[in-house]
Amino acid sequence: MGSSTTWIDIETSCGNAFLVDHGALHRLKQELPSLAVEHTGLVLFWGDEKGLLTRSLYQDKFPPRRGYQRSSPGMRIYHKAQAAGKSQLLLAAYPDSERIPNWSGDLSSDNTCKRYPLSWSGPINTIVQQAFRKLLAPFSDVICFVAQDLTDITRIAREITDWAHAITDSTKTSWIAESAGPTALIACKGDLSGLCASSHFTEVLGQYCIAGPSPQECIRKIFGHIEFAQIGTTSLEFQSFKELLDRAVVDVHRARSDLHMLFSFDNFVRIFEKACQHFTQRIEQPFDAIQASRVFNSQASTNGFLQHIPSFLTYAKTKDSLANFAIPVIASALVNDSYIYGRHTFMPGATFRSLYEECCIEAFHLIASSANIRLGILIDLMKTEYHRFSSEVEGSSFNPQTFHSQLLASFSSEWKNIYSTVTCFFCLKKRPEYSLPCNHALCEGCIRHLASQNIPTIYTMHSCMLCAETFNCSYQLKPPTAGVRILTLDGGGIRGIIELEILALLQRRLNISLPIRETFDLIVGTSAGGLIALGLCANKWSVEQCTEVFEELSTRAFQPHKFGNIPILGKASNYLMSLFTDSFYDTAEFEKALHRAYGSRQPFGLCGTARVAVTTTSSASYPYLMTNYNGIGLRRTECGYAITRPENASTETTVYEASNESNSARCTSAAPWLVFSRERRYHKPKALHSVFFQDGGVKHNNPAKLALRESRVLWPLSSEPDLLISVGAGYRVSDDREGAAGGFISRLIRSWMQSMDGQLIWQELHNQLKPDQSHRYHRPSIPFIGTEPTLDDVGKMADLKLETRAFMESSSTLDQIALSLLSSLFYF
């Protein structure tokens, strides 16, 4: 099966110690591509004659590894494969401690080799001893001590006693049970008989255990069993010893199999690698193989459960619903989480203690107080249900996900009254991203696991696993390997027509049947840009449809108040009316137009590709985002803006809702205006969950920076977007001489307007980019020479469309963007 190779070395360099894994196990995996290794065993040899014995048993040689000075202490590995009903791999290893090594090799060229610096120090012999006791012994099935005389037996007894005395409750290896510990096989050579060795061993062990644990307790702390055997000189006697060794391995495997501690080779390699890291960094703490087997998602799951289980528990209004609904659902979700394809499955009790017990104690603490139930009772109920479900899954043909789905479906009547946009009720550890037609919502991971997939990236749900409502709803999910493409749309009142014209021209440049919204992953808009974003994504309008609606809305939005036009007062009558109504134009007419155009559809969790967000600002001038997503990443506590998201899906923000309800389109379009140096508004602020919102352009007229932050929340593994297109609503070519012109009020107004200048915001962003990033960022817009149109100058819209078309046709900007956008559609 291939030559033996060096496995582990303890190396020294400049006074520092390193544990070096020479990658023998990884190379062995490559030699066994067709061998389904279900069981892995390890026999560890210790003693002066262990090298010769190992060679004799396994008939292999140890070629020294090139590139470093072969000296020890270190670990060398022999391997062979045995077939006994099931495929089994047996590893044999022994330490060579003749000399202390000096590092002279270079492992950088071999990616299977790993060098771990020790964060703790000690004499080299102590480090080797600790490696034997804490790293290798727990993974071993048999530890074979070689003895030639009674002096060796005395030394072995002393070693075992010292070892046992060093083990306390805090340092005991947590994942190895006493009943499944390795077998100690003391191999007696020469004239030393097994009976004599056993008697002397017991006597010496008793002497060393006078002031401490009994000899039996010492042995049980380390070994499951201890045997003495003589290695004869004849081939028949030697074969008899070999058979005894093989039987010892089988017996340990049987005990470990019953306790779910028998690893496949893949899991053995994976967990042993984590044990090496733990040994070098946290030797004072017990190693937890259960945590190590799940290292990539263990903490994420724990944090998720800590956040979402308390949220789910709020729906358990009575003690009966807590015990007979909430706890079974949580226990089933934990069991489903505990099973990971290809990873080792440990005993339910050990798994619950390692992964979920502390989490459940913290999550149930508040509900125990409010329900007047002892916390211990709730945790005991959880353990009972967890054990029961684990046993049912293990004893059935169902996979954990199917079992969990069936359990959730058994509570269909309860689910019909429970909805949430902040907790995925299937996994209970993530925020939902996609809404089902029944208003239940799921996270992206659950959609991928539960939906059928006939077309790449298209996932179809046929029913709700909670309330059992049937439907056919398809979701287009972003492929993991695809880059992130972002579109942002500035605010600008009627100048939003410029953005629509740019999008229409870009759509023609692309020359593909795909709607332009489907070429982006995230679309963020402010004010007019927010209305466009909602039209494209929430209502799935084409650019042409969006343009028609936008022109109609602009006409309706800037209608004066019915009683504002008093002839005797002239234009002043409109200003006076605005003081009483808190808006310059007739908000009621605008609301009617918005309602007709956008309807009352909830944008959260829509099926399309693009995620959409619109900016708004509270009356206290704090920025908010209204989104149709939650995101899997975390936003910093002081990120500078907040997200509006109700707990219940029934109160979720709609594109537009009539009467007193909240709406995204209305909130993003309550634009302010300046008059007499006091802030007034084109339209009234809109109430949403006890907060009054107005136009997002007050803080983020160009939402490009916000979009970048949100993309990291949505796709935290993507460091930079493939493409960001910030579409502007025109910018004024300024004259520096204007800075001092006019009085204080004029300068103040200009300063305030510049703070909302999308072009200046873009320049600041672009200046912060690295040279190799700038080609991914684009800003199509048009310049205004002279006076720029006001936000409410509806009569200028036709001219702005013509100016946009003429300017863009004379520029190569859209051609470059189209090429970048088309290339970003391809991924591996």
pLDDT at 655: 55
Whether pLDDT at 689 is above 70 = no
Q: What is the mean pLDDT of the chain?
A: 79
Report the alpha-carbon distance of residue 161 to residue 169 in Å, rounded.
16
Angle at 176 between CA 172 and CA 178, to 5 degrees: 85
Query: What homologous superfamily is domain 6-62+72-282 in, according to CATH?
Result: P-loop containing nucleotide triphosphate hydrolases (3.40.50.300)
Q: How confident is the model at residue 554 (pLDDT cuts 50, 70, 90)?
A: confident
Distance separating alpha carbons of residues 576 and 585, to the nearest angstrom: 12
Q: Identify the H or E element spanning 189.
A: none
By percentage, how much of the chain surpasses pLDDT 70? 74
Q: What is the mean pLDDT of residues 336-360?
A: 90
Q: In which band, very low, low, confident or very high, does the pLDDT at 804 lie, cut at 50, 70 and 90? A: very high
CA dihedral 181, 137, 275, 92 (to 10 degrees): -110
Question: For residue 683, what pLDDT is reported?
Answer: 43
Catalytic residue among 695, 711, 722, 781: 695
Entry field: residues in the chain: 828
Is the predicted pLDDT of residue 301 greater than 80, yes or no?
no
pLDDT at residue 688 in the model: 43
pLDDT digits (tens, 9 = 90+) for 442-490: 999 999 999 999 888 899 999 999 999 999 999 988 888 889 999 999 9
d(CA 525, CA 616): 10
Of the pLDDT bands very low, low, confident and very high (cuts 50, 70, 90), residue 67 is: very low
- The residue with greater pLDDT, 327 or 654, is 327
pLDDT at position 11, please? Answer: 79
Range of lowest pLDDT (297-311, 671-685, 794-808): 671-685
pLDDT value, residue 573: 39
Given this model, what pLDDT does residue 620 score?
60
**Between 817 and 221, where is the model more confident?**
817
Is residue 516 very low, low, confident or very high in pLDDT (cuts 50, 70, 90)? very high
Instruction: Summarize the confidence of residues 22-34 as an average pLDDT.
Output: 75
Q: Which long-range contacts (CB under 8 A, 24 or more apart) does 199-208 make?
A: 200/150, 200/153, 200/154, 201/153, 201/156, 201/157, 201/228, 204/153, 204/154, 204/157, 204/158, 205/157, 205/160, 205/161, 208/157, 208/158, 208/161
441-442 and 434-435 beta bridge pairing: antiparallel
Check whether 563 has a pLDDT greater than 50.
no
Q: Which of 527, 583, 669, 824 is catalytic?
A: 527
Among the listed residues 156, 135, 124, the one whose alpha carbon sits nearest the alpha carbon of residue 274 = 135
> Which of 611, 344, 338 shows the shortest CA–CA distance to 485?
611
Going from N- to C-terminal start, the domains of the chain cover: 6-62+72-282, 302-476, 485-824
Q: How far apart are CA 423 and CA 440, in angstroms?
A: 10
Lowest mean pLDDT across 22-26, 330-334, 646-650 = 646-650
Residue closest to 778 by CA, chosen among 494, 492, 503: 503
Homologous superfamily of domain range 485-824: Cytosolic phospholipase A2 catalytic domain (3.40.1090.10)
359-398 CB burial, b ≥16 within 10 A, e <16: bbeebbeebbeebebeeeebbebbbebbbebbeebeeeee
Q: What amino acid occupies position 217? A: E
Confidence of residue 96 (pLDDT cuts 50, 70, 90): low
71 contacts 98 by C-beta, under 8 angstroms: yes
Whether 503 has a pLDDT exceeding 90, the answer reads yes
CA 705 to chain centre: 23
Confidence of residue 91 (pLDDT cuts 50, 70, 90): confident
pTM, two decimals, is: 0.81
- Is the predicted pLDDT of residue 637 greater than 80, yes or no? no
Q: Does residue 565 have a pLDDT over 80? A: no
Mean pLDDT of all residues in 805-813: 94
pLDDT band, very low/low/confident/very high, at 104 (cuts 50, 70, 90): very low
Q: Is the pLDDT of residue 522 over 90?
A: yes
Q: Say how far apart CA 532 and CA 492 lie, in whole Å.
A: 12
The least confident of 64-68, 142-146, 770-774 is 64-68
CB 671 within 8 A of CB 590: no
What is the structure's pLDDT at 419?
Answer: 92
Which of 165-169, 353-357, 625-629 has the highest average model confidence (pLDDT)?
353-357
What's the mean pLDDT in 697-711? 83
Closest CA to 139 of 267, 10, 296, 229: 267
Q: Are 702 and 490 in contact (CB under 8 A)?
A: yes
Query: 679 vs 125, which has greater pLDDT?
Result: 125
pLDDT at 66 over 70: no
Neighbouring CB atoms inside 10 A of 237's CB total: 12
Q: Looking at residues 627-653, what average pLDDT do you find?
A: 74
Q: Is the pLDDT of residue 576 over 50?
A: no
Nearest-CA neighbor of 560 among 573, 569, 579? 573
pLDDT of residue 78: 53
Q: Is 695 a catalytic residue?
A: yes
pLDDT, residue 649, reads: 57
Q: Is 527 a catalytic residue?
A: yes
